Amino acid sequence: MGPWSYSTSYTRAERYERVLAASQLSLDLAALPSGDRTEIGERGFNLSGGQKARVSVARALYRESADILLLDDPLSAVDPHVAHAIFEQCILGLAQHKTRVLVVNSHYDLLVHADKVVVVQSGRIASEGNYTETIARFPGLASKASKEDYHVENEDKQQASTSNQENQIDSSSPVDTSDAKAGNQLMEKEDRVKGRVTGYTCKTYLDETGFTAFTVVVIVVTGYTVSQGLLVLVNWWQAD
């Protein structure tokens, strides 16, 4: 059972590969030391925000039994180019036969593909209708969509230019992956000691405060002595 899905197996290998490609995870898995067998930790603590979002989308898409797909703004965690690729290949592609509910706080240029647009402001539904009706009521969305569309177009041109330059570079030496299996576990168990706290541990803890253990002990003893002296003085004064 792979770490990228909760309770499914690898029997549907073709579906698995299609979901990975559509959710733009293929390159990420190739970069990991043991591919999809790499341990990603609790809640994916060693993944970026964009990778977490794409893993969540991939898990949802891999389950074909669900008729409704709820996506809580996963596109905001990725750049516009990747967001459009996920939208086209996942939401409009693999999930085309499902009822899809997508929350967006950006990438408003994608609203044109929606059958129904619901605008929520301050926790209330401010508008609902098709794209044309929504833009008529909220023209600001159109300007934001135009800016995002322009940004995506420029990014595509830059990536095309970079790709052409990379194609002109000779392939480098192959990377040694002989130790790939050894890197599938990214988390290691911490050393734990049961019983009384040792003097060495206390000394190390005190040294981390910036003072030596001896200095800290002197300060504590001096403070205790002064406090006891003041207490005796107050009792003597009250007795008189």
Q: What average pLDDT does range 220-225 have in this prediction?
A: 91
Tokens 């006891």 locate to: 228
When divided into structural domains, the chain yields a total of 2
Each residue of 100-150: pLDDT tens digit?
Answer: 999 999 888 899 999 999 999 999 999 999 999 999 998 888 777 666 554
pLDDT value of position 114: 93
Phi then psi dihedrals of residue 41, to 5 deg: 85, 170
Domain range for 234 is: 199-239
Q: Which of the listed residues 101, 136, 163 is the one where a domain comes to its end?
A: 163
Do 157 and 223 lie in one domain? The reply is: no
Is residue 173 in a domain? no
pLDDT band at 75 (very low <50, low <70, confident <90, very high): very high
Mean pLDDT is lowest, of 7-11, 18-22, 210-214, for: 7-11
| Mean per-residue pLDDT of the chain | 78
- Looking at the structure, do residues 89 and 138 belong to the same domain, yes or no? yes
Percent of the chain with pLDDT over 90: 38
Query: Span 166-187, mean pLDDT?
Result: 47
**pLDDT at residue 163, rounded to an integer:** 45
Q: How does strand 117-121 pair with strand 68-72? A: unpaired
Question: Do 40 and 149 reside in the same domain of the chain?
Answer: yes
- Residue that is written with structure tokens 């996920």 in the block: 86
% of the chain surpassing 70 pLDDT: 74
| Mean pLDDT (whole number) for 55-74 | 91
One domain for residues 209 and 159: no
For the domain that residue 130 is a member of, what is the CATH number? Answer: 3.40.50.300
Res 33: pLDDT: 81
- Is 32's pLDDT higher than 90? no
pLDDT of 20 above 80 = yes
**Alpha helix segments (H runs only) across 4-138:** 13-22, 26-31, 49-62, 80-86, 131-137
